[in-house]
Structure formats: structure tokens, C-alpha cells
Amino acid sequence: MTDRNHHPSRVIATRRGMLGLGLAGAALVRPALLRAQDRSWPSHPIRLVVPFGPGGGTDITVRLLAPKLSELLGQSIVVENRPGAGSTLGVDFVAKSPPDGYTLVLATLSSTGVAAGLYSKLPYDPVRDLTAIAPTNFIPICHSVITKGVAVRDTAEWVARLRANPGRYSYGSSGIGSTGHLASASFLQRIGASAVHVPYRGAGQVFTAMLAGEVHFNSDIPSLMLPYNRAGQVRTLFVATEERSSLMPDVPTAAEAGLGDYKAYSWYGIFGPAGLPADSVTRMNAAINEALEDPAIRQRLDEMGTPAMRGYTPERFARYVKEEVDLWVPIVRASGATVD
């Protein structure tokens, strides 16, 4: 889908390597800095928008972090789900909110780089209209099919089935333009097959639809698909990253499954509207990094197979987001995926 110098496989290797780097940066956001900063913000509860429905990775991540952030900042973190349009409705709501530090959003790759490529009239610019505060975690993606009615043993059988039955099968995602949507659409494009996309308002609805046989496959986080694999309700055929998942060590990578350099991933991060006061950005960044160092939170993210992205300053995260937008916009456009 893209040239060798800018392919996601190279970026994934770089991004994953960067997860462990940040130690010097992390030292800048230790509790001493948090205590030393101006306490005028926050003076009342902070609304943290999740632009997807309940039950998915974004919702789980925010609700994991919120209590610790509340403890560190001394104010309640009110989590609010605002799903729709592949997460762009919730992100646009925050982009257009007053830049006072009291309305933030957990945005993703699909809300930024992917959305900028999918929507010709995206109502916000992910670089210009948002303040990048800090990333939270890196998100690997896997490809899974239901077992009831789709009796395939491996990727080769599944690819053959899809090619022989254009438009017969369907896949679910957390919305048009979501990472799961693009991952599945790109997979179909790569193998030369077609299937029907059924967008939902959150991952929980997708899982319910899969178990009911309403859709046949999806692309989502390995940890979320693991219980359904164990129950025999779905079969994960491959993980779309360079290395096998520690949660599913017997599941091959996309390359091992014969899909070449096909990759799919995401990341989460906390943003505010453009023009946030520097003090509130610095303090929130420090709180996020300290929360990500919490042993219980680190353990839970590792158990989910979504490692924390610690040690990013706001400036470093802003550069990262800009690089991701520059990388993914041409990839999305080359895939032919669109919502307009």
C-alpha cells in the first residue's frame, strides 16, 4: 500500500522500540514536578471524552487511568462516551470546546491520521485543532472469524473462501473510519476480495453481532478477542504486527500467514482543544506519565497486550502525531477507503 521507506512495518518497529526509550523524559515528569506546578488547574472536575462506545479498548483504557489521574490531580475525572462517525464526532466535540483544560479526549490513530485520509471534509485538523498532551498505549491488531458458519482452519482457507464468495461475508467495526474498519478493508484489498462492512457504535456491539452470526469477522485487539477464542466462538487467524502476541503465541503473524508486509496497529493518547494553557498541558502530561508508571496500571496494560507509551513530553507527542498523520493519510487514500 505504500513505498518501502514509509511502510507501517518500519514505523511499527520504530514505535515499539520507542516504548522502552523515554526514561530520560520520564524523569522530567516525576511526582516532584507534579507537586511543584501551579495548583490553580484543575479547580473542578475534568470531562474526559471517549469517542467510542463502551466495552472497547479506548473505554477500558480510560476507565483504568481515570481513578489514578483523579488522585494525582485532586479532581474527579468524568468519563463520557460520545461515539459516532468512527470516533470523529467525539473528537470534534472536544476540538470545538473551550480551551480551558476541562474537556479532553482519548483520541486514537483512527481519529487522527486515518480520519484525515478518509474524510475529505473532516471537521477538524488533527494537528492544528488539537493539543497533543500525552500518549497512553500502543495497540496491536488481530484478524478473527466466527467459528459458527465459517469453518476455516487458517488464513489460506479464509482467503480462498472470501475470493470465491464476493460480498457474501461481512465484517464489523467500531465505526466508519475506525482502525478496525481500515484494517479489515486493507486486508480485503490486499487479497483481492470483497465483503460488506457493518459499522457499530462500539466494540461491544461488534462482539455481540459476531456471536449472533450477524457479521463474520473483525479486526481488533488480541486481548479483547482472547476470551472468545478460549470459548471456541471465534478463531483468530493472525496478528497484524511484526511479532506474535504474547497473549496468543500460537497465532501466526500476518507475514507467517502469507500476507507479506500487511500491518495494522493503533495507539491511544489524550488531547485537548488547540490553545490549552501551557501549565495545564504540562501538569496533565505529568499526571498521565506518573499514572502509566503505576505498577497496577502497567500490569493491566501488559496483560491486555497494549504496552504503555511512557516518557513522552507534549512536544514529543505532538511530533509523533504529525508523523503519523503524514504517514497514514497517503496509505489510507491509496487503499481506496473513503466515507464521503
Domain boundaries, the chain: 4-139+266-335, 142-239
Q: How far apart are CA 62 and CA 58, in angstroms?
A: 6
Q: What pLDDT, on the 0 to 100 scale, is given for residue 178?
A: 84
pLDDT of 217: 98
Kindly report the backbone phi and psi dihedral angles of residue 41, in degrees, each rounded to the nearest multiple of 5, phi listed first: -125, 130
* Cis-peptide, bond into residue 166, ω within 30° of zero: no
- Per-residue cell: 322: 504529525
In CATH terms, is domain 4-139+266-335 a member of 3.40.190.150?
Answer: yes
Identity of residue 136: T
228 and 203 in contact (C-beta within 8 Å)? no
User: All 3 cell numbers of residue 119?
Assistant: 474524510
Angle at the Cα of 59 from the Cα atoms of 318 and 200, rounded to 5 degrees: 105
Q: Which residues contact 36 (CB under 8 A, 6 or more apart)?
A: none
Strands 217-220 and 265-273: unpaired
Q: Is the pTM higher than 0.85?
A: no
Topology of domain 142-239, per CATH?
A: D-Maltodextrin-Binding Protein; domain 2 (3.40.190)
C-alpha to C-alpha distance for 122 and 94, rounded to whole angstroms: 14
Supply the pLDDT for residue 58: 94
Q: How far is CA 289 from CA 110, 159, 283, 294, 308, in A?
A: 22, 42, 10, 9, 9
Q: Which of 70, 226, 213 lies closest to 142 in space, CA to CA?
A: 226
Fold match flag (4-139+266-335 vs 142-239): yes
C-alpha separations of 121 from 164, 338, 340 in Å: 36, 11, 8
**CA dihedral (256, 261, 264, 266) positive or negative:** positive
Instruction: Assess contact for 104 and 287: CB atoms under 8 A.
Output: no
pLDDT in tens, the chain (340 residues): 333 333 343 344 444 443 443 444 444 444 445 544 456 899 999 999 999 999 889 999 999 999 999 999 999 999 999 998 889 999 999 999 999 999 999 999 999 999 999 898 999 999 999 999 999 999 999 999 999 999 999 999 999 999 999 999 999 998 887 889 989 998 999 999 999 999 998 889 999 999 999 999 999 999 999 999 999 999 999 999 999 999 999 999 999 999 998 989 999 999 999 999 999 999 999 999 999 999 999 999 999 989 999 999 999 999 999 999 999 999 888 777 777 6
Q: Cell digits for 24?
A: 530520560
